[in-house]
Structure 1
Amino acid sequence: MKNLLIATAVLFLAACAKTPDWDYDKSADFSNYKTFAWVQDASLTKNTTNYQISPLMEKRVRDAVNTELTNMGMQLSEITQADVLINYHASVDTKIDVDTFNTGYSARWNYWGMGYNTQTTTREYEVGTLIVDVVDRASNQLVWRGAKEGRLRKNQSPEARTDAITKTVADILSNFPPDKQ
């Protein structure tokens, strides 16, 4: 039974893994970007009522973005001195998963009839999307956007939530600056 639960959990996590989505301005010269700052009114919690998008989650996302960009050689600076401004958005959508499968086939010869037994199950779950924007401060134009969505999990420890955000932000920023070929 334990092995079945582990196998199910592994398949569940693999099915939920999504690759990030990126878009960028091909005319932007990303080699000029050395410093960054946050957009003045950037907020994850604005315009949302989902309990998982909280000031605690917002701090985790900001810390993860700051760490990733710093590890790339960029430096956090004052908004008036930054080459690029970072903005972010989050949304939560409810999705429904429907599975239908045949559980059996039967035929009776002593009277007319045959048929399939069909079982349908539905599950409702929440999917969160995190979007990170990079805006050229001088032109005030969006030059890069990365996003990733994934199934939200409830009843996680603060450590597990921090780990999930750190991995998600690292995935999103793995193509920043873009490799223009």
Structure 2
Amino acid sequence: MRVLKAIPVLLLPVLLAIGCATTAYVEKDETADFSRYQTYAWIDSDKNEDKKNRHADLMKKNVQEAVNAKLQKQGWREVKNRPDVLISYDMLVEKSTRELSNPVYSMPFRRVYYNPFYRRFGTIYYPSRFMGYDYNTATVQEGTLTITMVDAKTDKTIWQGWTTDDVNSRNVTRKEIQSSVNSIFRKFDVVKK
């Protein structure tokens, strides 16, 4: 009986973690036969771009490690020669404005009155009341991670997943990348046929 009471307590953190995850979007080619894909390789980005942006090496490493872990869990393996699928990613961090609405309440107050019937003073308490919303805008940084899979033989995009989330700075942290990759690969259901 105690075990049955403990189950909801143990499931609560899991449900909260899933509920707080960012929304991911996926598009896949319905004609592609994913049962024949077992190997993959990463597409190298421009070398000139990497020289301009040194932090891109660390971000590239973090994204590739997170995606590799998810794909290897599905039974895929990374190879250098003749892969079935080529994988690339794109990370875009941009400033955006967001509308915020905050509720506004009046200040509570008291009023003193005189009651001539009882010949006494009394106090009436007026609690705070909802008065409406205060609207303003805030500037936020949004990071969009897109992961694309291309069939190596036909050079046709077979699967693409992306998610957008608030990031703290221009350099996306390992934890933010891991969270985005988890959200995207939660919808990677191509193996389940």
Please name the residue that 2:28 is paired with: 24
Cα distance in 1 for partners of 2:170, 2:94 equals 18
Please name the residue that 1:8 is paired with: none
Cα distance in 2 for partners of 1:14, 1:155 equals 26
Please name the residue that 2:190 is paired with: 178
Counterparts of 1:160-171 in structure 2 under 5 Å?
A: 161-171=173-183
Look at both structures and tell me which one has the larger radius of gyration over its CA atoms.
2
Cα distance in 1 for partners of 2:28, 2:65 equals 23
Q: CA deviation at 1:70?
A: 1.1
Asked if 2 retains the 8 angstrom alpha-carbon contact of 1:42 and 1:88, the reply is: no
Cα distance in 2 for partners of 1:131, 1:64 equals 13
Could you tell me which amino acid in structure 2 is paired with residue 61 of structure 1? V
Asked if 2 retains the 8 angstrom alpha-carbon contact of 1:16 and 1:151, the reply is: no
Please name the residue that 2:88 is paired with: 87
Cα distance in 2 for partners of 1:132, 1:71 equals 17
Q: CA deviation at 1:69?
A: 0.9
Give unmatched runs, 5+ long, in structure 1: 1-12, 106-115
Give unmatched runs, 5+ long, in structure 2: 1-16, 107-130
Please name the residue that 1:5 is paired with: none
Counterparts of 1:69-80 in structure 2 under 5 Å?
A: 69-78=71-80, 80=81
String of CA shifts for 1:8-34, please: whole Å, max 9, x gaps. xxxxx9997421100000000000000
Asked if 1 retains the 8 angstrom alpha-carbon contact of 2:150 and 2:158, the reply is: yes
Q: Tell whether 2:144 aligns with 1:129.
A: yes
In structure 2, do the counterparts of structure 1 residues 137 and 172 end up closer, same or farther at CA, with 3 Å as the change threshold?
Answer: same
In structure 2, do the counterparts of structure 1 residues 81 and 152 end up closer, same or farther at CA, with 3 Å as the change threshold?
Answer: same
Asked if 2 retains the 8 angstrom alpha-carbon contact of 1:133 and 1:145, the reply is: yes
TM-score by length of 2: 0.65
String of CA shifts for 1:80-114, please: whole Å, max 9, x gaps. 41000001111122221223557367xxxxxxxxx
Cα distance in 2 for partners of 1:15, 1:71 equals 23
Cα distance in 2 for partners of 1:141, 1:99 equals 41
Cα distance in 2 for partners of 1:96, 1:104 equals 25
TM-score by length of 1: 0.68
Cα distance in 1 for partners of 2:101, 2:189 equals 43
Please name the residue that 1:140 is paired with: 155
Q: Percent identity?
A: 26
Asked if 2 retains the 8 angstrom alpha-carbon contact of 1:98 and 1:121, the reply is: yes
Cα distance in 2 for partners of 1:166, 1:14 equals 14
Q: Secondary structure at the match of 1:23?
A: strand
Please name the residue that 1:3 is paired with: none
The count of aligned residue pairs is: 152
String of CA shifts for 1:56-80, please: whole Å, max 9, x gaps. 12210011111111111111001x4
In structure 2, do the counterparts of structure 1 residues 86 and 103 end up closer, same or farther at CA, with 3 Å as the change threshold?
Answer: same
In structure 2, do the counterparts of structure 1 residues 39 and 177 end up closer, same or farther at CA, with 3 Å as the change threshold?
Answer: farther
In structure 2, do the counterparts of structure 1 residues 122 and 59 end up closer, same or farther at CA, with 3 Å as the change threshold?
Answer: same
